[in-house]
Structures are given as C-alpha cells and as structure tokens.
Amino acid sequence: MKSVKFFPRVLVVALLWGGAVSCQSNSPSVQSTQVEGVVNENVNVEQFADLIENGPEGLLLDVRTDREFSMGHIKGASQIDFYRNDFQEELAKLDPDVPVYVYCRSGNRSGQAAKMMKQMGFKTVYNLQGGIGAWTRTQPVAK
C-alpha cells in the first residue's frame, strides 16, 4: 500500500475553517457520512482499489473467518474474524486515528464492523461494497 502524506484536502480545509463538511456524491455506489472529522464510506471496487493503492496509509482489514481468509484475500490484508467473541476487543487494540479499509465476503459483516468502528471513535473507515466477491471479479487475490 502506497503511503500518502496528507489528509483529503477538503477535510483539512473544512477543519481549518471550522466548518462542517457534508460529503454527498452523485454516484449511487458511494454512501458517505462525515461528521466532525469522521469519515465512514461504503465504496465500490474501483474506489477501494484506488484508496488502498493511492490513499492515506492505513490498515487493510479482512473480517472473514480464518477458513475464508485462507481461501484467498486481498494482498497485504490483516484478519480479525467478525464472529469471534472478542472481535470488538480486538478492534479496540487498533489505532483509531489510522484509516481502516475493511472488507468481508459480501459487504455485510464489514459494513457492521465499519459502524462498530465509527461508534468506537475510529476517524476514517472505508467499507468495500460487495466484499471480496465483487473484488475478485476485477482484481487479484493472494492465497
């Protein structure tokens, strides 16, 4: 994952001016919420691939089971099983200031995980819409 040394310019400018930023997109494939410096977005495969390659350096997180992860995952991903009893405790060990790029099989578990992370105070979370199922139709996976 390529490191980017700046935050999205719109966010920085808004924070400096003390204004609130409302992210809206004309694209139905992006659902974004931004409140007081918090970004929580559902993004499509192309946007997700661009973010993990060119966006701010962060954590690529697979929330599928060990078995699912071993069958193939996005290169460079770390894994925490959403179904583990200590899933939220494991998330709490992560730095909430580091952007998280999260995915699962279909986007359901990762969407729930993204909401959970937002409630836990994570500043930036991007959820892959359609999960690895959508990813594998256009992008390679590691085994």
Give catalytic residues, as residue numbers: 104
- What is the C-alpha to C-alpha distance for residues 99 and 30, in angstroms, rounded to an integer? 17
Which of 65, 45, 53 has its CA nearest to residue 136?
45
- What is the C-alpha to C-alpha distance for residues 37 and 114, in angstroms, rounded to an integer? 16
Q: Is 102 helix (H, G, I), strand (E, B) or coil?
A: strand
